[in-house]
């Protein structure tokens, strides 16, 4: 994260509930012994499931530019210049009925079961990878994955950070 920036925020949940195939896991992240209060989940009132008629406005990426980016990526992989390329584009939609994030997340989970579904800072989506935005020459990211474990002390943390900065994969 850019220490000078104001948009870089990492949210570590105190309580994380994961469900898959009829099983559930509860993870509590705390710097003190866990109490019953830590396990009390907030009451969530789901929306009514209505989405309304969704209208597609388009994408911020021109179609021909997207096709060209995919073509270049395939050529680089075939030439051995890259092993993996992650491309993404947005789809801008609207509806006269307000979107309910819980309904959208359920639908995304059903449609993309191997992806991470997320709702962060008003952005709702499903992605197996890091999300980035480019505006002119400036690139910013909303980090949802791709972390490294902490070291035992500040020196170890610095060493791990330096290794990330030299890693072709992580860069």
Q: Which two tokens stand for residue 3?
A: 């220490």
Catalytic pick among 3, 63, 83, 84:
84
Separation in Å, CA 101 to CA 65, 89, 120, 149:
30, 20, 10, 31
The DSSP 8-state label assigned to residue 92 in this structure reads E
Q: How far is CA 15 from CA 22, 39, 66, 88, 116, in A?
A: 19, 7, 39, 30, 17
Catalytic residue among 3, 63, 83, 129: 129
129 is catalytic: yes
84 is a catalytic site residue: yes
Token pair for 116? 């991470």
Catalytically active residues are 84, 129
């Amino acid at each position: 994260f850019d220490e000078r920036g104001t948009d870089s925020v990492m949210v570590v949940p105190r309580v994380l509930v994961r469900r898959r195939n009829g099983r559930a896991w509860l993870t509590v992240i705390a710097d003190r012994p866990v109490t019953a209060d830590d396990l009390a989940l907030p009451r969530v009132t789901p929306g009514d499931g209505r989405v309304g008629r969704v209208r597609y406005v388009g994408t911020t990426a021109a179609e021909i530019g997207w096709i060209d980016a995919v073509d270049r990526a395939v050529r680089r992989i075939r030439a051995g210049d890259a092993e993996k390329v992650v491309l993404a584009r947005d789809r801008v939609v609207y509806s006269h009925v307000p979107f309910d994030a819980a309904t959208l997340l359920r639908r995304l989970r059903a449609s993309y079961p191997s992806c991470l579904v997320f709702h962060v800072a008003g952005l709702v989506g499903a992605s197996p990878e890091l999300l980035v935005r480019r505006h002119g020459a400036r690139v910013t990211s909303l980090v949802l994955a791709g972390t490294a474990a902490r070291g035992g002390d500040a020196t170890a943390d610095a060493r791990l950070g330096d290794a990330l900065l030299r890693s072709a994969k992580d860069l």
